Amino acid sequence: MTSAAPRGEDDRDLDSMFDQIVSGLRSEMDWDTTKFPDAEETAELPQPPQIDPETERARRRMERAEELAAFNAQKAEAEAEYLSEDGYFVRPDPGPLPRLRRSTIAALAMIVCGLVLFIAPSLLSIAQDLTITLAIMLIVGGGAWLVSKLRPDNEAEEGGDNGARL
């Protein structure tokens, strides 16, 4: 196992290696190129023209007004083109709602009765614990009855494709 050199020797080695690397660059670089102009030299430079803030604000408002007018004209032109087309889509009236089957009405009545008993368990003259249990059973039973009476998917029987197969 090698022993590490004392910290001072490593620093000196790193400094000397850095000096060797940078020594070739120092002769090529001109470090005094960033000369800042004196106050006398800056007085000779042309100053930008002073613009009145009100004039500038009015100019910007005019530009915005022109842009808004162009946008509104383009929007009106697009709307007129859209409304002038003869073949635009007109949504048909919706069809009538299907009639509820007797089993659906019975399941909904079970759910409603369950909710009424759950909200007001004192309607029945039996113990409230039993009334709440009956209410929950009615709600769950009505929901299960509705789910069990859902129409089957006819496309699967006809050989229809339900999407990509992996």
Mean pLDDT calculated for residue range 82-96: 77
Q: How many whole angstroms separate alpha carbon 72 and alpha carbon 120?
A: 61
For residue 62, the model assigns a pLDDT of: 94
The model's confidence at residue 1, banded by pLDDT at 50, 70 and 90, is very low
Torsion of the alpha carbons at 11, 17, 22 and 23, rounded to the nearest 10 = 110
Which residue in 147, 145, 146, 140 sits closest to 117, CA to CA? 140
The model's confidence at residue 6, banded by pLDDT at 50, 70 and 90, is low
Mean pLDDT calculated for residue range 53-78: 92
Sequence-distant contacts of 142-147: CB under 8 A, at least 24 apart: 142/107, 142/108, 142/109, 142/110, 142/111, 142/114, 143/107, 143/111, 145/103, 145/106, 145/107, 145/110, 146/104, 146/107, 146/108, 146/111
Residue 96 one-letter amino acid: P
pLDDT mean across residues, the chain = 80
Which residue in 48, 73, 51 sits closest to 60, CA to CA? 51
Q: How many whole angstroms separate alpha carbon 138 and alpha carbon 128?
A: 15
Mean pLDDT calculated for residue range 144-152: 86
For the chain, the structural domain boundaries read 102-151
Which residue in 108, 132, 112 sits closest to 122, CA to CA? 132
Q: How many whole angstroms separate alpha carbon 37 and alpha carbon 43?
A: 10
